[in-house]
Amino acid sequence: MAEQQKSTALVGCEECGLVVDLPALDEGKKATCPRCGHTLLQHIAQPYQRPMSYGLACLVMLVASVSFPFMSFSVQGITQEITLMHAAVMLEVFEYTALALLLLLTVIILPAGYLSMVLYLYYRAGQHLRHSDSIPIRPFEKRLCRLMIRIEPWLMVDVFLIGVLVSLIKIASLADIGLGMSFWAFCVYTLLLVKCVSMADRTWLWLQFLPFVPVTGVKPGDSHLTHNHVSCHICAQLNPPENDTGRCIRCHGKLHSYHPRQMLQRSWALLLAAAIFFLPANLYPMMYTVSLGSKEGSTILEGVVLLWQLKSYPIAAVIFFASIVIPLAKIFALTWLYFYAQKETFEDERKAIQRLKIYRITEFIGRWSMIDIFVVAILVALVQLHNLMAIYPGPAALSFAAVVLLTMLSAMAFDPRVFWPKEALVAVAEPNKHKENNVYD
């Protein structure tokens, strides 16, 4: 497959802004930024067959996950059986439409759309390989590729599975739990989806459709601080700074010029909104429990304390870290990063890399705070035995979901290139010496 990428191209690193001469890659290799280590291009083995195989198998498991009973809950001879879709339906019954839509989008609708796009685009990429330039890329295929890239961060199937497992352990001592065929299909679906997403490299996929367009005046070692190009975050194409359309000359995606002040204002605004929602998310009940006609509400912290008293130490620890420590730590970490980014004074490249690593961690862990929301969704759908035992969502659920989504949006709006000072350009004055060092197995 190396013959597909004989010609190298210049790309700008998303995380540090360094312009790198992208090397030709063999199967199983990847190219990383010589300055910050960010992956620029990945060329997996069997690049057409494997994503399509995993994607097709994943869609089959998704259909199986919503077609059969998911799990059942039985106490004193009364049984409640649910499907995967029933969790969203029950949230809608209790007038939590936003949470029901969030569950459907992140666990079923967006993953199904993502997998369908992967199958179609990789099939079309295979056609381009076999027929060379005789098959032009269609405008809607560009839109599909852009959409696939944008929805990838919102796939939360793996987070939902952890939420299901936490729910099972949380109520296993209260009643008999039965696992249906869809539960096991969903476990396989989760593993296949994670594997499929890891194989889809957007830079490599765009290369199968369109070559990079040469841009004059840009050379390896330049960066976003040289102001002689604008890098596309969708296809990695370098665009001339005088581009009046505001669209990438290659994929037609919207360009985002480097404006640190405007970027920080957006990031600060979203983070401040998340901090405001964090208060009601922890002060109001996350869910209400009805037992023998008695109704009792519990906040996130009260739920953790109850699990600890019941000696469910691992589950108490998971809920405590996912629902309290991680959101709070992310808010403080982003506040610290934004504060130093706003100062615009950095001592050296080493500190820039340290802050970049912290940013990567906060961006990665943010979605896992959604575990508690998914726990509530499963328990609300499963435990509905009228006055004998029932669970209802509380007002904190919506606030907590807002905290998770706003912190994710804040981290996405932030541009980590702001960490890199002008002095760092001196370290890449001889970019050719990095060319072989940025290719790894």
Identify the pLDDT of residue 131.
Answer: 65
299: helix, coil or strand? coil
59 within a domain of the structure (yes/no): yes
Residues 284 and 397 in one domain: yes
426 within a domain of the structure (yes/no): no
Residues 78 and 197 in one domain: yes
Six token digits for residue 112: 């199904």
To 10 degrees, what angle do helices 139-151 and 110-131 make? 140
Among 333, 300, 332, 297, which Cα is nearest to 316's?
300
Question: Own/partner pairs for 245-248, CB < 8 Å, 24+ apart?
Answer: none
Identify the pLDDT of residue 75.
Answer: 74
Residues 198 and 277 in one domain: no
User: pLDDT under 50 in the chain at which residues?
Assistant: 1-7, 425-437, 439-441
Residues 23 and 92 in one domain: no
CA distance 25 to 322: 39
Residues 345 and 297 in one domain: yes
427 within a domain of the structure (yes/no): no
335: helix, coil or strand? helix
358 within a domain of the structure (yes/no): yes
439: helix, coil or strand? strand
Domain final residue pick, 255, 286, 318: 255
Residues 295 and 216 in one domain: no
Q: Kindly report the pTM of this predicted structure.
A: 0.87
135 within a domain of the structure (yes/no): yes
Residues 145 and 163 in one domain: yes
Residues 86 and 15 in one domain: no
Give the range of the structural domain holding residue 287, as residue numbers without chain letter: 258-414
Residues 185 and 218 in one domain: no
Residues 279 and 312 in one domain: yes
Residues 348 and 321 in one domain: yes
The CATH number for 345's domain is 1.20.140
Q: Cβ atoms within 10 A of the Cβ of 328, count?
A: 15
CA distance 80 to 85: 14
Among 253, 276, 264, which Cα is nearest to 413's?
264
Identify the pLDDT of residue 372.
Answer: 85
User: 8 near 21, Cβ under 8 Å?
Assistant: yes
434 within a domain of the structure (yes/no): no
Output helix, strand, coil percentages for the chain, rounded to the nearest 5. 60, 10, 30
Give tens-digit pLDDT for 368-422: 888 888 988 888 888 877 666 778 888 899 999 999 999 999 999 999 988 886 6
Residues 227 and 186 in one domain: no
Identify the pLDDT of residue 292.
Answer: 67
One-letter amino acid for residue 331 of the chain: I
| Number of folded domains that form the chain | 3
**In this structure, what DSSP letter does residue 176 have?**
E
Q: Cβ atoms within 10 A of the Cβ of 241, count?
A: 16
What is the residue whose two structure tokens read 């640190």? Answer: 260
150: helix, coil or strand? helix
24 within a domain of the structure (yes/no): yes
81: helix, coil or strand? strand
